[in-house]
Structure 1
Amino acid sequence: MKSSVKFKHKKVLVLGLAKSGVTAASLLHKLDAFVTVNDQKPLSENPAAQGLLQEGIKVITGSHPIELMDEGFQYVIKNPGIPYTNPLIQKALEKGIPVLTEVELAYLISEADMIGITGTNGKTTTTTLLFEMLADGGQNPLIAGNIGTVASEVAQEAGPHNKMVVELSSFQLMGIEDFRPHIAIITNLYEAHLDYHGSLHDYWQAKVNITKNQTEDDFLIINDDQTHLIEAVAHTKAQVVPFSTTKEVLDGAYIKEDAIYFKDEFIVSLDDIVLPGAHNLENILSAVAACKLYDVPNESIKKVLSVFAGVKHRTQFVKEVEGRKFYNDSKATNSLATKSALNAFAGPTILLAGGLDRGNDFDDLIPYMKNVSTLIVFGETAQKLAETGRKAGIKSIITVDNVEKAVPVAYEHSRAGDVILLSPACASWDQYRTFEERGDMFIDAVHML
């Protein structure tokens, strides 16, 4: 771990706990900052805050008192989930106090090269694929960030012989000042999280923050099939490495003659890749490009791609039962993700969908439902999705109470050769705490068959 003096003897407010806040507060304390932690949950119900208190860190819980911002803080480190409309954040910005996220801390202390991965879709799959390829290629990678392990925690253990592979959300990237990955990847840019960012421009700007501090010694891997993405990163100083599923990009990664190439070098045949879905080719190409920049052997890339079947809850193959293949795509919390999942399968598909009602309709799914033989709906959006199914000409539409009930019903209405796909197109919060819980319920129900 590198020593950083950026926060030494500075007054820093850590706003919001969870994993990132706890790690950030402890790390700042080690870096000799004067740390105050503020969390909404009362101290009696807040073991994380109690632990920090025992470390000698000042803790204020139970509310977010606006008067805190009169205490002369020089930095605010906020939980990524806290919106910028929060009164304390608004007050900090009015006072010109930098509002950062813990990935900034991770960058400042990491002795390892950082590879930052962002985009609307495909971040987790790309991050996991790249980690596995680097590991097989002897690069000693560490995995961190929005994928589940706090980056500033992993960075404390990272040495110069490691590579830190970090999945980054737009929420995290809004809060950076010096953060500079040696390799940055933007998988794609679509419309998302407008309730948080306020506009498409602000959302995209948060994503392209990943390259704002890169120099000519760094690399930016981007989706060359998206003109708006190319325009959004036109200011970058990094060396741009494109990837494309539709054309040859001779200075990057692309598909030619049913194989993946990098800069005119054959890497792997598409027949050797087990990860389903055309959309996953984007993720694979971006991971391959990063690997080749680190001279990972083609044998390692091929080895991983020949066994990597997907990340849990993301078009994850669960099991085959009497010729029916079950796939868990619970991470599909919007129509865009469900479109990609439906596009991944060419044969008869039974779609399980539904969840939290955010006020949108689902008619944009209609062109992608041509292979859906039965639609099973649940949750708050059940009737909306049923109406979309009727418009798509689906004859068999069934409403059930939840995912667990949907699985045996799907099996009853299927035949050998069918795909049974959970891809809800909705958030899970009407019935489940997280999309992971929803996916696990689906997996359990499949195994019960």
Structure 2
Amino acid sequence: MRLVILGGGESGVGTAILGKKKGYDVFVSDFGKIKGNYKEVLIINEIAWEEEKHTEDLILNADVVMKSPGIPDKSPIVKKLLGKGIPVLSEIEFAAPFTDATIIGITGSNGKTTTTMLTHHLLKSAGLNVGLGGNIGKSFAWQVADNKYDSYVLELSSFQLDGIVNFKPHIAIITNISPDHLDRYDYKYENYIDSKFRITMNQTEEDYLIYDADDEAIAEWFKTHTTKAKLIPFSLTKTFSEGAYIKNNKMEISINQEEFTMDTEHIALEGKHNMKNAMAATSVAKLMQIRKSTIRESLSNFQGVEHRLEKVLKIQNVQYINDSKATNVNATFFALDSMNTPTVWIVGGVDKGNDYNELMSLVREKVKAIICLGVDNKKIIDVFGNVVDMMIEVDNMNDAVRMAQRLSEKGDTVLLSPACASFDLFENYEDRGNQFKQAVKNL
């Protein structure tokens, strides 16, 4: 069996290792450059590879193809493969049959990284032998090749879910759905929503789907679709006999006739959106039979995720917060919503079709100054130019942070929450967040 892998990054190389171990004839092809560390792994494992090209003769003879999530279905080589009827799968689909581990799959437009990390923290703290992968950390396929975990918590993007056929998590979570990556879905929101719900398409009555009952797109989908999985909703406003909710500042969870309650003030994560992430993760912990005392302790000591509402430093009584991971409007909405002090907001980058008007009421209420950090800031200036007292454009992070310090007073917050991708001025959102933190430390 010939396995061809498109993309020589983390998921590609992980799949190559697993494929080789399972006796496939493996070939890795990357249209860009393969990083040095990945190249070494391929060479040590005697796996054939090429970079900066796709040689059709070596690709179109595949029995099965795994493509990295970043490669769109519209790319010429993928079109040719599909035209020949060669199955093109995601890493998750390829690797899942080779493990008997319990799989917890987490998707959503926002909150999925925090929910994934928190779920993993809850299970690991309880002594479970659990792996973390998917869209974060070490490749799922690579971990399956090493065969060490009894369960996996996987963060799954819509791109990964587009490439599944039989994959089914025992427990699935949809944190929320808001427009994102629509350029990959013919600019049709319903296509993107359907893509997220692929996480539950193969689930049976033995499986569980945990979801945000306050989310409009999710509610709409349920009007015309069903899933066999047992449903566990969570909500900030509704209450359930089976599900999770917040009432009188208490998180209450009822699953399989078992109750769990905890005061929200003891939960380390702050903000309404994080209460939702905590309810989703705790629901998993309850399903996995983790003791209440362990859950309480883990929820109170969880450190959060880097670049997601990460408190950097307080300088002259001004709090600097790094939310570089907010690459869409919905994520920035959560960030602004959780601000309790006058805010200097650093925003901008590569816009994926954003509608900034959704942020208008929060900006009026909380933002005193806006610093635009992007190559093209016209849209942001058009929307908010008359709403805030100060609006400044900069083209690098040091200037952004120095300006923010000038515009802020005691008791204020400086918030980097770009609502955009980072590729105009930075390598990725991590690079953007790290530059912000360094610039703050240099003040």
What TM-score do the two structures reach when normalised by structure 2?
0.92
- Paired residue type of 1:58: A
Residues in 1 aligned to 2:234 and 2:357: alpha-carbon distance in whole angstroms: 31
Change (3 A) 1:442 1:32: same
Q: Which residue of 1 aligns with 2:373?
A: 378
- Paired residue type of 2:237: T
Query: Contact 2:21 / 2:145 at 8 angstroms: preserved in 1?
Result: no
> What SS class does the counterpart of residue 100 from structure 2 fall into?
coil
- 1:325-336 aligned within 5 A: 325-336=319-330
Identity in percent: 39
Query: Contact 2:181 / 2:352 at 8 angstroms: preserved in 1?
Result: no
Residues in 2 aligned to 1:309 and 1:51: alpha-carbon distance in whole angstroms: 32
> What SS class does the counterpart of residue 97 from structure 1 fall into?
coil
Q: Which residue of 2 aligns with 1:364?
A: 358
Cα deviation per residue 1:385-407 (whole Å; 9 max; x = unaligned)?
2333223x211222223222222
- Paired residue type of 2:210: I
Q: Gaps (5+ residues) in structure 2?
A: none
Residues in 1 aligned to 2:102 and 2:343: alpha-carbon distance in whole angstroms: 43
2:100 alignment partner, one of 101, 106, 111? 111
> What SS class does the counterpart of residue 86 from structure 2 fall into?
coil
Cα deviation per residue 1:147-183 (whole Å; 9 max; x = unaligned)?
13211112234446x3211101111111112212111
- Paired residue type of 1:185: I
Q: Which residue of 2 aligns with 1:311?
A: 305
Residues in 2 aligned to 1:42 and 1:127: alpha-carbon distance in whole angstroms: 30
Q: Gaps (5+ residues) in structure 1?
A: 1-9
Q: Which residue of 2 aligns with 1:39?
A: 30
Change (3 A) 1:158 1:185: farther
Q: Which residue of 1 aligns with 2:284?
A: 290
Query: Contact 2:30 / 2:52 at 8 angstroms: preserved in 1?
Result: yes
Give the C-alpha shift of residue 238 in structure 1: 1.3
Residues in 2 aligned to 1:339 and 1:188: alpha-carbon distance in whole angstroms: 13
2:419 alignment partner, one of 421, 425, 428? 425
Q: Which residue of 1 aligns with 2:384?
A: 389
Residues in 1 aligned to 2:23 and 2:378: alpha-carbon distance in whole angstroms: 56
> What SS class does the counterpart of residue 143 from structure 1 fall into?
strand
What TM-score do the two structures reach when normalised by structure 1?
0.91
Residues in 2 aligned to 1:105 and 1:347: alpha-carbon distance in whole angstroms: 48
Does 2:400 match 1:410? no
Query: Contact 2:18 / 2:95 at 8 angstroms: preserved in 1?
Result: no
Does 2:54 match 1:64? yes
Point out the more displaced range, 223-232 or 267-276: 223-232
Residues in 2 aligned to 1:158 and 1:239: alpha-carbon distance in whole angstroms: 29
Change (3 A) 1:334 1:42: closer
Query: Contact 2:404 / 2:414 at 8 angstroms: preserved in 1?
Result: yes
Give the C-alpha shift of residue 227 in structure 1: 4.7
Residues in 2 aligned to 1:154 and 1:321: alpha-carbon distance in whole angstroms: 42
Change (3 A) 1:411 1:227: closer
Structure 1 runs (4+) greater than 6 angstroms displaced: none
Change (3 A) 1:288 1:358: closer
Cα deviation per residue 1:103-156 (whole Å; 9 max; x = unaligned)?
123312223211110011100000011111112222232211101321111223
> What SS class does the counterpart of residue 306 from structure 1 fall into?
helix
Residues in 2 aligned to 1:70 and 1:116: alpha-carbon distance in whole angstroms: 31
Change (3 A) 1:274 1:100: same
Give the C-alpha shift of residue 190 in structure 1: 1.5
Cα deviation per residue 1:184-232 (whole Å; 9 max; x = unaligned)?
1111111111111222222222211111221111111111122532453
- 1:15-414 aligned within 5 A: 15-41=6-32, 48-49=38-39, 51-52=41-42, 55-68=45-58, 70-71=60-61, 73-159=62-148, 162-198=150-186, 199-230=188-219, 232=221, 234-263=225-254, 265-358=259-352, 360=354, 362-369=356-363, 370-391=365-386, 393-414=387-408
Residues in 1 aligned to 2:72 and 2:349: alpha-carbon distance in whole angstroms: 23
Give the C-alpha shift of residue 96 in structure 1: 2.2
